[in-house]
A and B are shown apart, each in its own frame.
Chain A
Amino acid sequence: MAKVAENQTVEGYLRSLDRLLRNVPMEARRDLVEDIAEHIDEGRERGRSESEIIAALGTPQAVAAPYLEDLLRDGNSPRLRRIRRVLGIVALVTGLFAAIISRSSDSTIVNMVFGPAEVQGLSINYDYSDVFAAIQLLIFLALALMVAASAVMKPIIARKYSIAAAIVMTIVVIFCGTGLGMFFVPSMVTAWMLAGANNLKLSPVGRSKRSRTVQAIGGAVLLIPVLFSLVGLATGAVVGTGAYAYIALGLLCGVGFVLKFRAALWVTCVVGAGLSILSIIDQGMLMAAFWLSGIVYFYFGLYGLLWFEKRKLAS
């Protein structure tokens, strides 16, 4: 009953309409509320009473209905469902993978500042290795599951949940610091990508604008190191054949990324995964370099594969 009473004033009517449309893309929401507001103003000018006008409009629910139906349909579109599923799998796989990699390096880089006093400090895996490894694996997997869960949720709940999960992951990364935290970075990035994939408010136009931004940033991130190597070679600071191999691969990934070649995006993704795997071999700062650059390559490649519009090769 309260709802009916509220809807009897123009402001209440517009407010509840606007509220119903809260998950609808911004422009569509604004346009519809403005159209209805204009309709009411025109009606007033013609001498119709407010309650007459509102009664003739129909309930806010009925007015918003087509938009809400579209919303559910778009949120459940095959493309978005596929993207969410892929990201869910990525979340699980990277979570498990990160747990394994982080175990391989505990003795050198983990510097725990929380937990039981015995496991704090640098060499935590000397006495507690099995128990601690199991706990750590569980923590990684639990967080990965938490991130992946929104992939199978209903659109509107998934949106709220995935943002919450992404914020939790970000806090985990910051809280764990540079040592352990960097192994949670893949889960964090996946969580934010899922939050993006669950964002129903983003219209197709908004999405393509966003993917152009990522395209520019990714292109710069992938190509600037290549430029450094080129300069290094030119000035003689860098010697050896390794640099040439890196430049060739870096150019392939970077230029292919900017031009949205799917093959190059796949290569970028695989190179990223490969670099991350390499970090299992080495220790110390080199490991962090492999790990983080692997993440950069992998996620830019993944983003391109998921979101860039398909480019027609033969035309």
Chain B
Amino acid sequence: MINGLLQLLVFQVLGELASKMLLPSIPGPVIGLVLLLGSLIALGSIPPRLEQVAQTIVQHLGLLFIPTSAGIIMFLPMLRENLGAIVVALLISVAASIAVTGLVLKWLAGERADDEHAT
């Protein structure tokens, strides 16, 4: 467990360094993610200790943004005035995005014999 966590932290540190020195507009953890993804592709498999820790953290990723999200209480008066517009915007935005993404794939990707379909 500690070893897996260490592997994640090493990539996070590398990402932060790259963000500070080379690519300031990209968040360090995202660069760390890309570096780890590249390493996994090069390696061709996921080291078991890394997989164990990564899966646990990803499964509970939602826990990690509760502290920031709770700041919503500071926005409540402003939010109340704009609630209708925001809900409509979020709903249309996600619906249009799902439809467009799905349709682009449906129109542009060739059908393969082993593609499974929803019935």
Partners in one complex: no
